[in-house]
Amino acid sequence: MTRERLTPTIEDYLSVIFVLERDGEPVVGARVAELMGVTPPTVTNTLKRMVRDGLVEMDVPRGAHLTESGQEAARSVIRRHMLTEWMLSRMLSWSKLHQEAHQLEHAISDEMEAALQIELKQPELCPHGNPLPGYESVVEGWQPLTLAQAGERVIIRRIHELAEEMPEMLAFLEAKGVGMGQSAQVKEVLPFNQTVTLALPAGEVTLGFAAARYIFVERSLEQTSGSQSGIAEANP
């Protein structure tokens, strides 16, 4: 199956299945339908075509999974999408990149993909901090904001791909200063209320767990440095 024969719809399915598999989530019809915004019967029919074309195989307990050909095609789709986001980042704010790139990614040729990789100096992450295929290890140490503790200083590193499908959420985060590389302090975590409050240079923002679980952070080195400095001063 060559990429030229794949429709935009099939490429979208490949991207969704790739992300779910990468994150260890079962690729079941109901979940794919939710993410694709279609009905479960539509998913079933599309997956049957993808099985026929050698892109996916079906596994009863865990649903669909990509074949080697499917993996290769999915990596190309995602790579083209993320490279397009970087190209557009010179002109648009990061909250608008995903939707615009989605309109263009299907038209990017293999030659253009290779040229963009060279022009953009082989990026490992997209503008939202998600890994290009092959660079998943780069993000392994980052954790969802819902796992952070009150009082911790963190650095915002990543907005998960599934959250990129929520333009209103991205616009809200950008307006509140919740951007990649931004330092923040976790002011409050309320499991009973399912909210996390961050203190940012632009002010405080409270996020529900439903949104916070898609925001990945790295523990700030400032905490470690401060701790080591205090020890040094106490023990000259």
Q: Quick one: how many helices (H) and strands (E) in the chain? A: 9, 8
pTM for this structure?
0.88
User: What does each C-alpha distance from 222 to 40, 90, 152, 218 come to in angstroms?
Assistant: 48, 31, 10, 11
**Per-residue pLDDT reduced to its tens digit, 50-92:** 999 999 999 877 789 999 999 999 999 999 999 999 999 999 9
* Six token digits for residue 68: 């080697």
Q: Where residue 222 falls among pLDDT bands split at 50, 70, 90?
A: low
- The stretches of 176-213 forming alpha helices (DSSP H) are 209-212
Per-residue pLDDT tens over the stretch 116-156: 999 999 999 999 999 999 999 999 999 999 999 999 999 99
